[in-house]
Structure 1
């Protein structure tokens, strides 16, 4: 078991959004805030020893939200590069473990993160999330794994490591990962949003508004 104040949160927010096609995916509006801020808000109640955001070319101000911001100058080197930068900062800060989360997973909950910490079993721990089928982030690593994490390369990140760790299951809906415009559209539809941030108009108002525009 790990206590939150032993753990540094590493939020990976430096992806190139290649599959999203256009714009800064993490800044896309969803409900009342940018997409990336949902996991930030969800994890606010967890008292981590540090909060680290690894970013690249984004307009979002994670520093204003209490994060130690680390710039990834070359995200083309893959997710592992961002992970290494975050782990290096956490190691320098004396963290006993790191919790690696993705900024494009807006439905992660603090309750799930606490269950992961309860499942930790020492400095060599690896605890990953699972939808019941496959392991995935968020993932928790004890300090004995830091040097291994710092040697990772490419886009696979820590996937091979989390496959051999303990897995804490969460409902698939909590672990949704927004990679494409279609993913975001489906998430908005789940919340009944026609245009994100704008409420649905009752049919009578829609007809009245269309009639007014045609006058």
Structure 2
């Protein structure tokens, strides 16, 4: 079984927020901190071999959160280019696997990521998350697939690869990703409603 100590966390944070209308979605406030830092906080106690953030033109200081920061100079070439940079940095660090996560998925938990490790085997590991419909990040990928990851092209990222792997199902709300302002508004509304319900239970 793979372990975090042999794995590099690769956080993809180089998107251009094209569907977000204006501004950088990763810097938007969500529950008191930038959207991108929620997954950073959720996974900060997982003992990864290395933490690598692939960024583009951001004011967010990932290095202060323990990440090696790698600039993607041309995110227009698609997410696959960010994956390639992440895998190259992971190989340089001596990683046996990468855990690929997205900075615009603020509800991911460490508990779920440990379930990905529980479902792993060896260097041939291909384990992705699933909402019960389709596989998606976070995804744990062993080093046997590093060459394939480096050869990806376009905006599909590792999607075509993880379709062939094992899928660990979790609650859809844990895997929500934020593409538009409407997505963020809906997430904030759900959090507010949950807080109201919790307050009513405490007072009742």
Distance 1:45 1:168 in 2: 21
Residue in 1 aligned with 2:139? 139
Alignment of 1:168-187 (within 5 A): 168-187=168-187
Deviation at 1:32, TM superposition (A): 1.2
Residue in 1 aligned with 2:86? 86
Question: What is the DSSP-based 3-state SS (H/G/I as helix, E as strand, rest coil) of the residue aligned with 2:12?
Answer: strand
Distance 1:160 1:74 in 2: 22
Residue in 1 aligned with 2:63? 63
Deviation at 1:192, TM superposition (A): 1.4
Deviation at 1:111, TM superposition (A): 0.4
Deviation at 1:144, TM superposition (A): 0.6
Question: What is the DSSP-based 3-state SS (H/G/I as helix, E as strand, rest coil) of the residue aligned with 1:53?
Answer: strand
Residue in 1 aligned with 2:153? 153
Distance 2:191 2:115 in 1: 26
Give RMSD over aligned pairs.
0.8
Residue in 2 aligned with 1:24? 24
Alignment of 1:38-53 (within 5 A): 38-53=38-53
Distance 1:139 1:21 in 2: 28
Distance 2:12 2:65 in 1: 15
Residue in 2 aligned with 1:118? 118
Residue in 2 aligned with 1:104? 104
Q: After superposition, what is the alpha-carbon deviation per residue over 1:103-149, rounded to whole angstroms, capped at 9, x for unaligned?
A: 00000000000000010111011000000111000001001100110
Question: What is the DSSP-based 3-state SS (H/G/I as helix, E as strand, rest coil) of the residue aligned with 1:191?
Answer: helix
Distance 1:3 1:74 in 2: 32
Distance 1:93 1:65 in 2: 18
Distance 1:122 1:90 in 2: 16
Distance 2:38 2:49 in 1: 20
Q: After superposition, what is the alpha-carbon deviation per residue over 1:140-191, rounded to whole angstroms, capped at 9, x for unaligned?
A: 1001100110000100111111111000011000000000000000001111
Say whether residues 1:4 and 2:8 are aligned partners: no
List, as ranges, runs of 4+ consecutive aligned residues in structure 1 with deviation greater than 6 Å: none
Deviation at 1:20, TM superposition (A): 0.6
Distance 2:185 2:153 in 1: 32
Larger Rg, first or second structure (1 or 2): 1
Structure 1 gap segments, 5+ residues each = 194-215
Q: What is the TM-score normalised by the length of structure 2?
A: 0.93
Count of residues in Structure 1 that have an aligned counterpart in Structure 2: 193
Distance 2:3 2:125 in 1: 13
